[in-house]
Chains A and B, each alone.
Chain A
Amino acid sequence: MKLVVNGNTMEVAGVQTVGDLIKELKLAGKGAIVELNEEILSKSEHAEAVLANGDKVEIVHFVGGG
């Protein structure tokens, strides 16, 4: 499946939901905030939000440095 993640087109395998994608990108546990096709999702929706070919995903994750 092809996704556009933060402006970059990427091919992902074995990823079905937004939750899967967060794990795939190693952003689990980093408070990721996700917009799917310009709609912001609450964290409880991540596990159920199913991705389709061509979806546009924007992800912001939190870091602690400063």
Chain B
Amino acid sequence: MNDRYSRQILFDSIGEEGQELLANKHVLIIGAGALGTGNAEILARAGVGKITIVDRDYVEWSNLQRQQLFSEEDAKYRMPKAVAARERLEQLNSDIEVEGLVMDAGAEELRQLTEFVHLIIDATDNFDTRLLMNDISQETKIPWIYGACVGSYGLSYSIIPGETPCLSCLLEKVPMGGATCDTAGIIAPAVQMVVAHQTAEALKLLTGNKDALRNKLVSFDLWNNHYMAMDVRKLKKQDCPSCGNHPSYPYLNPENQTKTAVLCGRDTVQIRPSEHGERDLEELSGVLSRLGGRVEQNPYLLSYRANEQHRLVFFKDGRVLIHGTKDIAEAKNLYYSLIG
């Protein structure tokens, strides 16, 4: 026994008792990008007994500026993020159990992963997975902590089933075509600020300090020097399909999930988003033009050449064709990096 956790135990609200609680907790982190690696490092060092981290992507050079568990070696060898993260976490704390899973977490996968889990940390890059996570959290009564950032802006909210509003209450409709880290950039301090908010709430929940939870939606813009904490409890809806009195968990229904299909013989993947709103091609055209790459448009669709290999065609009804790949994971990466 060394004094690895001594400073954390000295912190009154955690103490010996809290530290023991942490050692018996299992946290599931969905995503091993900027937020995922940040959350995982803090929770591993803090001594959370088991951490499962899931990601479908591999490490690239453009990740190193903010994704703190990865090295140049990882980028050079295109290591799967979940594997590179697990290896680094094991170096940081060999007392705990770390599981790194290379997979695209859909409804079925998430259901299995949440078995015996005490808390889910959101570190994804898209709303489809978040809404899935939100329904599974309500169904299983496992809390989850939303976090997101882009540019110098970020926000976080802790969702406690049976107590707080859920993500569906707050959003009502799936946002479409927002800014992403690949279209608007991101600075590392914005990531760290969200990670700080998520992990502080995680430590409170895991050490039995529920009374200390923030209960507010926090948001900030580090470049424009604006900070806010909003009490959103009034937004909890009795008739919410995810957390209301008669929940139907709509995002667990295969009908409502984003569908992907490889189009045979065409070297193309089709992605069909869950919601039926119209895509704003004008706005999308503006966003994509600023990235470079050629944008062509007619009243029904927009074609965008992302790089030598890939061309994306966005239809007004929401569908997207990704030409130049038969790999669904690769197509999803490209899609979510541009659309969010």
Partners in one complex: yes
Q: Across the A-B interface, how many residue pairs have beta carbons closer than 8 Å?
A: 93
B232 at the A/B interface (Cβ < 8 Å)?
yes
**Are A33's CB and B125's CB within 8 A?**
no
**Are A31's CB and B180's CB within 8 A?**
no
**How many whole Å from B276's CB to the nearest CB in chain A?**
13
A29 at the A/B interface (Cβ < 8 Å)?
yes
Known contacts A33-B170, A66-B31, A40 near B235 by CB under 8 Å: yes
**How many whole Å from A3's CB to the nearest CB in chain B?**
15
A66→B171 CA distance, assembly (Å): 17
Known contacts A33-B217, A66-B122, A40 near B340 by CB under 8 Å: no
Known contacts A29-B175, A29-B280, A31-B171, A65 near B231 by CB under 8 Å: no
**Are B173's CB and A66's CB within 8 A?**
no
**How many whole Å from B304's CB to the nearest CB in chain A?**
18
- Contact code string B200-220 (vs A, CB < 8 Å = 1, else 0): 000000000000000001010
Q: Does more than half of chain A's interface fall in helix, strand or loop, or is it mixed?
A: loop
Known contacts A31-B175, A40-B232, A66 near B35 by CB under 8 Å: yes
Q: Does more than half of chain B's interface fall in helix, strand or loop, or is it mixed?
A: mixed
Q: How many residues of B contact A (CB 8 A)?
A: 48
B59 at the A/B interface (Cβ < 8 Å)?
no
A2 at the A/B interface (Cβ < 8 Å)?
no
B274 at the A/B interface (Cβ < 8 Å)?
no
B176 at the A/B interface (Cβ < 8 Å)?
yes
A65→B171 CA distance, assembly (Å): 16
A6 at the A/B interface (Cβ < 8 Å)?
yes
**Are A29's CB and B230's CB within 8 A?**
no
Known contacts A40-B230, A65-B148, A29 near B31 by CB under 8 Å: no
Known contacts A30-B178, A31-B172, A60-B217, A66 near B124 by CB under 8 Å: yes
**Are B171's CB and A62's CB within 8 A?**
yes
**How many whole Å from B193's CB to the nearest CB in chain A?**
13
* Chain A residues proximal to chain B, CB less than 8 Å: 6-8, 29-31, 33, 35, 40, 42-43, 58, 60, 62-66
Given contacts A63-B153, A65-B179, 6 further A-B contacts (CB under 8 A): A33-B170, A60-B219, A64-B339, A66-B124, A66-B147, A66-B148
Q: Which 4 A-B pairs have the closest CB atoms?
A: A64-B340, A65-B150, A31-B171, A66-B35
Q: List 9 A-B contacts (CB under 8 A).
A: A33-B235, A40-B230, A40-B231, A42-B235, A62-B178, A63-B154, A65-B149, A65-B340, A66-B124
